[in-house]
Amino acid sequence: MRAVNLLPRQQIEQKRERPNTVVFIAGIGGAAVVLVLVAGFLLANRSVDRQRQALSTARAVLAATPDHHVSAQTNAFRSAILSQREQRTLALAAAIGKRVAWDRILRRMTLVLPNDVWLTNVTGSVPLQPAAAPATATTTSSALPAAPTALTIEGATYSQAGVARLLARLQVLPDLKNVQLQTSQAAVIGSQRVINFTIVSDIRNGGGAS
């Protein structure tokens, strides 16, 4: 027997068109995906090319840059500056080492001053350079040491015992050395008998502890 299609002709045409539409849409989607992948690949290659070009340019600039060499004149100038700084530092250190804290010395003197002793004059001096003895000078066993000149103390008291007490106390001060009694004379002020004295001393290097 012959098979006969009883469906209307319009429905048959719609069934035939549906598979074609699905295939068309799927083809468009696949093409879009391919285009996106190709575009991403091209952009990535372009970025890599730019980075390589920048690296090549930097290498070329570095190769063209001359080496920095310091001239002999510049080196000599730097050495002179460093030498001057070193000399100034040494001079400052020497000046600080020779500095005398007179306020500390006077404060310590007032702390050890006996109650029956008063001072009339205090003179201090520090030589810039210590006096050097001549090379040809000779010393003998009977030669006396040079008298101190850094500090001179003049004052008065009522007895020789007061002078002795002051002299003993000054000798224990860490700032002073070679403390000596230079003069000691009796005098009368009004109706009071007093002893005028002069004590000399040297200043110890470093000035002792504060």
Q: Are both 104 and 43 inside the same structural domain? A: no
Tens-place pLDDT, residues 152-175: 999 999 999 999 999 999 999 998
Q: What's the pLDDT at 14?
A: 55
pLDDT over threshold 50, residue 46: yes
Let me know whether 113 and 192 are in one domain: yes
Mean pLDDT of the chain: 75
The mean pLDDT of 81-110, rounded to a whole number, is: 77
Residue 106 lies in a domain: yes
Q: Are residues 39 and 109 in the same domain?
A: no
**107 and 14 within one domain:** no
pLDDT in tens, 60-87: 877 776 666 667 777 787 788 888 877 7
Contact 54, 46 (CB under 8 A): no
Mark whether 188 and 122 lie in a shared domain.
yes
**For residue 105, what are the domain limits?**
100-126+146-203
- Domain assignment present for residue 161? The answer is yes
Q: Residues 14-38: what's their mean pLDDT?
A: 63
Higher pLDDT, 102 or 160: 160
Domain shared by 108 and 29, yes or no: no
- Across the range 177-187, mean pLDDT stands at 92
105 by Cβ neighbours in 10 Å (0-12 / 13-18 / 19+) ranks as: buried
For residue 196, the model assigns a pLDDT of 96
Domain presence at residue 163: yes
The Cα angle at residue 91 between residues 89 and 92, in degrees rounded to 5: 65
Tokens, residue 206? 């470093």
Distance CA 8, CA 3 (A): 15
Domain count, the chain: 2
188 and 120 assigned to the same domain: yes
Same structural domain, 42 and 105: no
Q: Are residues 32 and 110 in the same domain?
A: no
**Does the residue 29 lie in any domain?**
yes
The answer to whether residue 190 is domain-embedded is yes
Query: pTM for this structure?
Result: 0.47
**Does 19 fall in a domain?**
yes
105 and 195 fall within a common domain: yes
Q: Is residue 90 part of a domain?
A: no
114's CB contacts (< 8 A; 6+ apart) are 157, 162, 165, 166, 169
- Strands 117-124, 176-189: pairing kind: unpaired
**CATH code for the domain in which residue 151 is found:** 3.30.1360.100
| Pairing outcome for strands 176-189 and 151-157 | unpaired
At 186-208, the pLDDT tens digits run 999 888 999 999 999 998 875 44
Range 104-112, long-range pairs (CB < 8 A, 24+ positions): 104/175, 104/207, 104/210, 105/151, 105/173, 105/175, 105/176, 105/203, 105/207, 108/173, 108/175, 109/153, 109/170, 109/173, 112/166, 112/169, 112/170, 112/172, 112/173
User: Do 104 and 199 share a structural domain?
Assistant: yes
Is position 71 within any domain?
A: no
pLDDT category, 131, cuts 50, 70, 90? very low
